[in-house]
Amino acid sequence: MEIILAIITGVLYASGIYMILRRSMVKLILGIILLGNGVNLLIFLLGRITKGQPPIIDSTEKALEGIYADPIPQALILTAIVISFGLQAFAIILVKRAYKVLKTDDLDQLNTTDEDS
Amino acid sequence: MLGAVLLGFLFSLFLVFAGSYFRGKLAVLSSLIPLSLFVYFLTFIPEISSGEVIYESYEWIPSFGVNLSFTLDGLALLFALMITGVGSLVFLYTSAYLKDHKYLDRFYGYLSLFMAAMLGLVLSDNLMSLFIFWELTSISSFYLIGFNNDKADSRKSALVALGITGIGGLLLLGGAVLLGDVVGTYRISEMLSMRDAITDSSNYLLILLLIFGAAFTKSAQFPFHFWLPGAMKAPTPVSTYLHSATMVKAGVYLLFRMTPVLNGGDIWHTVLIVVGAITMIYSAVHIIFRTDLKGILAYSTISALGILVFLIGIGTQAALIAAAVFIVVHALYKASLFLITGIIDHETGTRDVTQLAGLRKVLLPVAIAGFIAALISGGVPPTLGFVGKDLIYESTLHFKNNAVLLTIIAISTNVLLFYAGFVAGVKPFMGKLPKKFEKLHLPSPLMWVPPLIMTIAGLVFGLFPSLIETTFAKPIAMTQAIAFEDFHLKLWHGFNTILGLSAITLVLGVVLYFTLKPSHALENKIAKLDFIAPEVLLLKLSEGFAVFSKYWTNFFQTGYLRHYISIVVAFLILLLGYLIFSDFSLETDFSTLADLTIYEISILLMLLMGVLYTVFTKSRLAAVAALGVVGLSFSLLFLFYSAPDLAMTQFSVDTLTVILFVLVLYKLPKYLNFSNKWLRMKHGVLSVSFGVLITLLILRVLKEPKNTEISEFYAENAYKLAHGKNVVNVILVDFRGIDTMIEISVLIVAALGVFGLLKLRLKTRDKK
């Protein structure tokens, strides 16, 4: 299973980078989201995967014991998901705004600060 | 001594605030600073001449071994007295030379900054502080050369000088670090006892090259000499002070200081002798082709610096004493000649030696000073110049190799220097006074007294060489020479070879002076050879470098986002690829891996299809929907692998993102196909190889054992310390609570940004 997940992570990275390299701003955002998912999966995998043992302490116990999923990668990923949501929302609105003002979705036309170009 | 070094810095700082008071008549008072320092250093003479060395040390950055350690021995005292002594006279002279100049206070600020830096340089016992002061002299010199900053060539000369001496500074830093590495200290006085360790070390050659580079650039040795004639664009007091008497001797000082540390045999001697000899003869010959008084003096200065390097290269006790005496001789006559040139320039408005004549009738005291300076420069008895020249011949004659050749080079140089001194110091005053100069009158005594003082000092020291002997020559020989033998400086040695050589020099010099007249024709002849001059070659090199760096920058800084990302990714691929393939095996222990079940496989297939569809679809809406599929697959995946919190978060966030996307983007036009097939292929290869590398990296990491220390801490203490049973939640809101709070504020900022962008009305543009 880990091997397949590793391959999936690679696919996510590859498609994320590929999308970022496009000229369309929407694709840039899609690429960033895909890459972000890839990173989350990478962190998740590096914490090792465990089936059916969430890091929740049993109601009768006082500490986690036996086999349990590593809580630290989960905490990290949770933070990452929320932060990337903030980034995505901002980027989406920014693209919309930029399109409204500049009437283009092409990144190559945005590499100057001159107003008339 | 720290106070003495700081005084100049403080004074220049003081001028920043009180400068306006020092522009007028009070300007002359600023010479009290160097004068008081001069007197202060004079008081050390008894101690130093009895052979004592004074140390002083203040901690600065002790962890790096960088301290403000000062040492005052014969060599440092010689330079300190020269810096403050010539400094006092130059400060006096300036107050009249630049009288009522708009920026006189600024000029004094730079000058005292320079003086302080120079004092720090010669007193430093720590190579690092020496380096810092060294750089400070370069910087203050930059401001002084470019003082007439409204003239383009002035600015250019300043830049060239800064460039050359700046490179030298870098070399010095390199040499200092290497040297410190070898001996484990930056204190020069501690290095003295470790000479063998240094000369035996594998870095010895490199250290030597770096130190030589520093000294040669600073002291204008061939082929870096050209910045010095350029630096003559500076006002005359600057040329006098920096570019004849003090700063250019910093390189010589460094070599002198390093002699007991680095002098390790043939390389030291050969390089210094060869470079010194080339410099002294090359620039001495150049003198013949100059008509500008300052040009003549500039080249004769370079030549004199060549002699000093040459003498240090010879390195015997006699040569070192000769160098020490010659430093004094040169400072005295060259500074006077520069000041005299400044007076002539100031009064007549020209420095062209072919137009100047007969000025003795109007500028008599100046003429006297010029005449004595020429005598010192030519080494005519009974001046100190004669003593200096004798010592030079004595050291070349007794050198073990090529004594005759070295002596001939020294004689030819001295003949040309004799010529230079007389052209600059005597010729403008002789002959018939042209009509246009008849109305000239003597300038303020502040201008003509300083050169007179210096030249008379040259006479007095010549008549009583013991003054020099006990104060500097002996202490220097004791600290710098390898083995000290007692000696006496004398004006009269009796009839011997050296006297004969001196006589030959004088006769040839007189003949040259009367036969060769400086003319523009000669000047034009040499100008034709300019295309192979080191200056032109080096300037071309720097232009070439500018062109190269332009291409280099344009290659990497295209302004297109995808180029930057391509470069970053490509570099990462190279780096990671190298690391992974240099240490990689694909063996995997399948028993430790989780099992595959059919529902996992179906989710993964769904995820994969979602990703591929996002990438390849032609419809934006479809891409967004596919992205939603990816996100939801993720949340299922998290659910299976024991991360319910992640599953919930991912689910809500992804739903929100898709909704937002659809709401905002459905108004945008369809995808435009911007890229061609070739570009897509290129990017495809780049991204796929990056993905493959990441996969390999993960597989590699999975083989390593996992550190569970931190997880165990949380598992153990989540309930006991924080009273929560969901460990992930406890980490986020309790153990790392402040992080989460900051995260929330990031989200608030993003939300404000979104709100702002939605509400923003660009009024001016809307009207268009």
Domains of chain A, earliest start first: 2-51+70-110 (1.10.287.3510)
Q: Which residue of A has its CA nearest to B596?
A: A1
Average pLDDT over residues A95-109: 77
Give the residue carrying structure tokens 């320039």.
B345
- Are B405 and B412 spatial neighbours (Cβ–Cβ below 8 Å)? no
**pLDDT for position B104:** 85
Q: DSSP characters for B528-582? A: GGGGGSHHHHHHHHHHHHHHHHHHHHHHH--S-HHHHHHHHHHHHHHHHHHHHHH
Q: Which residue of B has its CA nearest to A21?
A: B562
Tens digit of each residue's pLDDT (9 = 90 or more) over B297-347? 999 999 999 999 999 988 888 888 888 889 988 988 899 999 999 988 888
pLDDT range class, residue B115, cuts 50, 70, 90:
very high
Q: Which two tokens stand for residue B344?
A: 């002539």
**Would the pLDDT of B207 be above 60?**
yes
Q: Which two tokens stand for residue B71?
A: 């040492």
Q: Number of Cβ pairs closer than 8 Å across A and B?
A: 278
**pLDDT for position B481:** 67
Contacts A16 to B, Cβ<8 Å: 687
Nearest to B230 by CA among B296, B151, B161: B161
Tens digit of each residue's pLDDT (9 = 90 or more) over B702-733? 888 888 888 888 888 888 888 888 889 999 99
Share of residues in chain B with pLDDT > 70 (%): 95
Contacts A45 to B, Cβ<8 Å: 698, 702
Q: Is B591 in the A-facing interface, judged by CB distances under 8 Å?
A: no
Contacts B666 to A, Cβ<8 Å: none
End-to-end Cα separation, chain A, in angstroms: 52
Q: Which has more confidence, B479 or B175?
A: B175
Beta bridge partners of B56: B70
Contacts B571 to A, Cβ<8 Å: none
Q: Which two tokens stand for residue B180?
A: 């410190």
What is the SS3 assignment for B70? strand
Q: Which two tokens stand for residue B583?
A: 């240490």
Read off the DSSP letter of residue A109. G
Tens digit of each residue's pLDDT (9 = 90 or more) over A6-25? 999 999 999 999 999 888 88
**pLDDT for position B8:** 87
Average pLDDT over residues B89-96: 89
Contacts B731 to A, Cβ<8 Å: 71-72, 75
**pLDDT for position A32:** 92
Average pLDDT over residues B404-419: 89
**Would the pLDDT of A110 be above 80?**
no
How far apart are the CA of B548 and the nearest CA of chain A, in angstroms?
Answer: 24
**pLDDT for position B116:** 92
**Would the pLDDT of B765 be above 60?**
no
**Would the pLDDT of B590 be above 70?**
no
The burial of B707, by beta-carbon neighbours within 10 Å (0-12 exposed, 13-18 middle, 19 or more buried), is given as exposed
**Would the pLDDT of B666 be above 50?**
yes
Tens digit of each residue's pLDDT (9 = 90 or more) over A48-76? 888 888 888 888 888 877 788 889 999 99
Contacts B645 to A, Cβ<8 Å: 74, 78
**pLDDT for position B672:** 63
Average pLDDT over residues B14-36: 82
Contact across the interface for B728 and A22, Cβ inside 8 Å: no
> What does the radius of gyration of chain B's CA atoms come to, in whole angstroms?
37
Determine how many CB atoms are found less than 10 A away from the CB of residue B461.
Answer: 25
- Are B627 and A33 spatial neighbours (Cβ–Cβ below 8 Å)? yes
Contact across the interface for A83 and B620, Cβ inside 8 Å: no
How far apart are the CA of B582 and the nearest CA of chain A, in angstroms?
Answer: 20
Among B603, B609, B641, pick the best mutation site for testing chain A contact (most A Cβ within 10 A). Answer: B641
Share of residues in chain B with pLDDT > 90 (%): 22
**pLDDT for position B585:** 67
Contacts A36 to B, Cβ<8 Å: none
> What does the radius of gyration of chain A's CA atoms come to, in whole angstroms?
20
Give the helix, strand, coil percentages of chain B, each rounded to 5: 75, 5, 20
How far apart are the CA of B107 and the nearest CA of chain A, in angstroms?
Answer: 42
Q: Which two tokens stand for residue A86?
A: 């903030």
Q: Which residue of B has its CA nearest to A85?
A: B653
Read off the DSSP letter of residue B102. T
Tens digit of each residue's pLDDT (9 = 90 or more) over B223-235? 888 888 888 888 8
Tens digit of each residue's pLDDT (9 = 90 or more) over B254-293? 998 888 888 877 888 889 999 999 999 988 888 888 888 8
Q: Is B664 in the A-facing interface, judged by CB distances under 8 Å?
A: yes
- Predicted ipTM? 0.91
**pLDDT for position A113:** 59
Average pLDDT over residues B184-199: 85
CB < 8 Å from A in window 544-573 of B: 559-562, 565-566, 569
Nearest to B725 among A48, A53, A56 (CB): A56
Q: Is B21 in the A-facing interface, judged by CB distances under 8 Å?
A: no
pLDDT range class, residue B519, cuts 50, 70, 90:
confident
**pLDDT for position A50:** 83
Q: Which has more confidence, B591 or B162?
A: B162
pLDDT range class, residue A115, cuts 50, 70, 90:
low
* Average confidence score pLDDT of chain B: 86
**Would the pLDDT of B134 be above 90?**
yes
Determine how many CB atoms are found less than 10 A away from the CB of residue B726.
Answer: 17
Size (chain A), residues: 117
Question: For residues B390 and B384, what is the distance between their CA atoms, to the nearest angstrom?
Answer: 10
Q: Which has more confidence, B98 or B115?
A: B115
pLDDT range class, residue A117, cuts 50, 70, 90:
very low
Highest mean pLDDT among A98-102, B469-473, B645-649: B645-649
What is the SS3 assignment for B674? coil
Among A85, A94, A110, pick the best mutation site for testing chain B contact (most B Cβ within 10 A). Answer: A85
Contact across the interface for A10 and B694, Cβ inside 8 Å: yes
**Would the pLDDT of B752 be above 90?**
yes
Q: Which residue of B has its CA nearest to A65?
A: B715
**Would the pLDDT of B202 be above 80?**
yes
Residues in contact with B497: Cβ distance below 8 Å, sequence separation at least 6, in sequence order: B397
Residues in contact with B347: Cβ distance below 8 Å, sequence separation at least 6, in sequence order: B362, B363, B440, B443
**pLDDT for position B591:** 63
pLDDT range class, residue B670, cuts 50, 70, 90:
low
pLDDT range class, residue B482, cuts 50, 70, 90:
low
Average pLDDT over residues B460-468: 83
How far apart are the CA of A46 and the nearest CA of chain B, in angstroms?
Answer: 7
**pLDDT for position B192:** 83
Q: Which residue of A has its CA nearest to B688?
A: A14
Question: For residues B466 and B471, what is the distance between their CA atoms, to the nearest angstrom?
Answer: 8
Q: Which residue of B has its CA nearest to A94?
A: B757
Average pLDDT over residues A82-106: 84
- Are B69 and B55 spatial neighbours (Cβ–Cβ below 8 Å)? yes
**pLDDT for position B139:** 92
Average pLDDT over residues B591-613: 84
Contact across the interface for A78 and B661, Cβ inside 8 Å: no
Query: How far apart, in Å, are the Cα atoms of B305 and each of A117, B15, B255, B321, B334?
Result: 59, 33, 12, 15, 12
Q: Which two tokens stand for residue A82?
A: 């929320």
Nearest to B644 among A6, A54, A105 (CB): A54
Residues in contact with B749: Cβ distance below 8 Å, sequence separation at least 6, in sequence order: none
Contact across the interface for A78 and B716, Cβ inside 8 Å: no
Long-range contacts of B663-668 (CB under 8 A, 24+ apart): B664/A92, B664/A93, B664/A95, B664/A96, B665/A26, B665/A92, B665/A95, B665/A96, B665/B620, B665/B621, B665/B624, B666/B621, B667/A96, B668/A26, B668/A96, B668/A99, B668/A105, B668/B620
Contact across the interface for A55 and B740, Cβ inside 8 Å: no
pLDDT range class, residue B768, cuts 50, 70, 90:
very low
